[in-house]
Amino acid sequence: MPTTVTVPALAQRVALHEKDMVDFLSGLIRIPALGPKNGGDGEMKKARWLAKYCEDHGFKVEWFNAPCKDVTDGVRPNLLVRVPGKVHTRALWIMSHIDVVPPGNESDWKTPPFEPVLKDGRLYGRGSEDDCQSLAAAFWAVKAILESGEKPTFDTNLLFVADEETGSEFGIQWMLKAHKDLFGKDDLILVPDGGDPKGEYIEVAEKTLLWLRFTVHGKQAHGSMPNLGNNSTRGVAQLTVELDKALHARFPAKDKLFMPPESTFEPTKREANVPNVNTLPGKDVFYFDTRLLPKYDPDAPLKLVKDDVDVVQHDKAAPPTPVDAEIVRRLQAALKATRRVKPKVWGVGGGTVAAIFRRHGYAAAVWSTYDELAHQPNEYCVVKNMVADAQVYAHLMLQGESEGGRGR
């Protein structure tokens, strides 16, 4: 890093703020922020607390309120903290989300979901990992740099968005439409909203997710008189086997970027049909979970199935971020320097919010060190992961202008 701070000194300075990160994250956990689709009243209360916290620590906060008639305030808040860099040619974005999912069955929680509890190096609470661990880590990474008398290399933008958990219509989707002038095609975009316990994987691509519901119609009859009916469950069995074969045969490609490397087609849910054993069902409903490699036309499986099929969900894969995109290379360099690991670049089966950036033509990478507890009861943040991730962000912010190997 062409700066006066060495990597170990910077890491140490970041680590001094462990308690600040825990306190900050605790404050964030205490205020539920549930979108209306999740039975909540939006993110405004949490956003106000967050904005005040940022201001109390010397930052200016810009508000971008997406109109939404389903919440009391009439808007869903997206907050931006912009920290000027040494050069203004491009920006480094770290985007985290402030909304959370509902706690689910509260009796599954050992501690109250919206009461932060620190125990054995873990901070428990809804939203502790997904996604406020990253928010707190990015914030204190910037703080540590400024305290050391440095400036980030590029303008550094901490973006705290609403509505990630229910589709991002009022969060990053809206930002990229209503305020697209904020984003430059050359910007470096990191979305720390997913990761693995060692922080070894940088996610750059995803498969098309397609959930299908099939309805098989037969004719109900007594179990002893199948000649008078038409057993829909037999139809389900035949169709399942045939679909399974046909889909795998039609989409055989492998791509080593992904784990698993092929498209997947799995029969999953079955709806209850008849309540008793001695009745032939006259109607059956079953589902397929399909994940298609992005090289295929996302609509192609639909051409193979016809008739009584409903599309339950269809998230078309975005164009992948190139494996050698600059944000990926810079992140690899930061991980090598701070953790001495060589991270792997990969694609996942499910959708991530980074896909929204990719669809708009921005190269975005997903990375963080997570125990993968998103949406589970007893969600926690591993405090040492939060600090270690902050060290990675701090490194990323101070890397030299050409350190990512641009124009190599």
| Cβ closest to Zn ion, residue 131 vs residue 206 | 131
Which one of residues 43, 129, 130, 187 is an interface residue with Zn ion (CB under 5 A)? 130
Question: Which among 209, 204, 234 is positioned nearest to 219, based on CA atoms?
Answer: 234
Tell me if 284 contacts Zn ion by CB under 5 A. no
Q: Taking the complex as a whole, how short is the minimal distance between the CB of residue 128 and Zn ion, in angstroms?
A: 12
Determine the Cα–Cα distance for residues 263 and 253; give it in Å rounded to an integer. Answer: 7
Strand order in the sheet with 364-366: 62-67, 75-83, 154-161, 87-97, 188-191, 364-366, 201-206, 344-348
The one-letter amino acid code at 398 reads: L
Which one of residues 193, 315, 389, 403 is an interface residue with Zn ion (CB under 5 A)? 193
Q: Taking the complex as a whole, how short is the minimal distance between the CB of residue 15 and Zn ion, in angstroms?
A: 25
DSSP state of 33: -
Q: Taking the complex as a whole, how short is the minimal distance between the CB of residue 341 and Zn ion, in angstroms?
A: 23
The CA-CA-CA angle for residues 159, 164, 169, to 5°, reads 95
Stretch binding Zn ion (CB under 5 A), from 43-51, 193-201, 226-234, 305-313: 193-201
Stretch binding Zn ion (CB under 5 A), from 16-24, 30-38, 129-137, 215-223: 129-137
Name the packing angle between helices 7-15 and 132-147 (round to 10°): 120
Tell me if 150 contacts Zn ion by CB under 5 A. no
Determine the Cα–Cα distance for residues 182 and 59; give it in Å rounded to an integer. Answer: 18
CA dihedral 7, 9, 13, 16 (to 10 degrees): 110
- 209-248: which residues touch Zn ion (CB under 5 A)? none
Tell me if 131 contacts Zn ion by CB under 5 A. yes
| Cβ closest to Zn ion, residue 97 vs residue 329 | 97
| Cβ closest to Zn ion, residue 155 vs residue 193 | 193
Distance in Å from the first CA to the final CA of the chain: 18
Residues catalogued as catalytic: 99, 164
Tell me if 389 contacts Zn ion by CB under 5 A. no
| Cβ closest to Zn ion, residue 131 vs residue 150 | 131
Tell me if 99 contacts Zn ion by CB under 5 A. no
Q: Taking the complex as a whole, how short is the minimal distance between the CB of residue 134 and Zn ion, in angstroms?
A: 9
Q: Taking the complex as a whole, how short is the minimal distance between the CB of residue 8 and Zn ion, in angstroms?
A: 31
Name the packing angle between helices 44-56 and 18-30 (round to 10°): 150
| Cβ closest to Zn ion, residue 279 vs residue 376 | 376
Q: Taking the complex as a whole, how short is the minimal distance between the CB of residue 163 and Zn ion, in angstroms?
A: 11
Stretch binding Zn ion (CB under 5 A), from 122-130, 249-257, 277-285, 308-316: 122-130
Determine the Cα–Cα distance for residues 140 and 156; give it in Å rounded to an integer. Answer: 13
Going from the C-alpha of 227 to that of each of 66, 216, 224, the distances in angstroms are 60, 18, 9
* Residues found near Zn ion in the complex (CB under 5 A): 130-131, 193
